[in-house]
Amino acid sequence: MSSLHDLLEQGIYSTEKFLERSQVLADKIASAEGNLAKLKDKLREEKARDESKTNIIPNVERVLEVYSSTDDPKFKNDLLKEVLEKVVYTKTQRAQRGHLENLDNFDLAIYPKLPK
């Protein structure tokens, strides 16, 4: 911008040309600042993702250790919610009374909380 002002003062640029170039430079600066802000956000996200990756294994290990030491269903549920996004249970066949072989006829999809 300083060079632009010098060119105007020296008479090389007319006022119209100065305003046009000034606007172009202002747009480039605004675009660069916007890109810089986006890159800073991405860097923050990547740092958070890396930190989350390093913390996930100890967190799951802690949940596994504590889970079996309690009989409180709410506490167990809260523990599982710390490491799981959701769990989907699908059963297509009903179990019949007295038939133990059909009890495990279901699908269980587990969605862990992983960094994105």
Residue length of the chain: 116
Query: pTM of the entire structure?
Result: 0.48
Position 77 scores a pLDDT of 92
What mean pLDDT value characterizes the chain?
A: 85
Position 9 scores a pLDDT of 73
Provide the token pair at 64: 């596994």
Q: Which residue has the higher pLDDT, 37 or 100?
A: 37
Q: Report the C-alpha gap between 44 and 50 in whole angstroms.
A: 10
Asked if residue 32 has pLDDT above 90, the reply is: yes
What is the residue type of 84?
L
Position 11 scores a pLDDT of 75
Asked if residue 108 has pLDDT above 80, the reply is: yes
Residue 73's pLDDT band (boundaries 50, 70, 90)? Answer: very high
Q: Report the C-alpha gap between 75 and 52 in whole angstroms.
A: 23
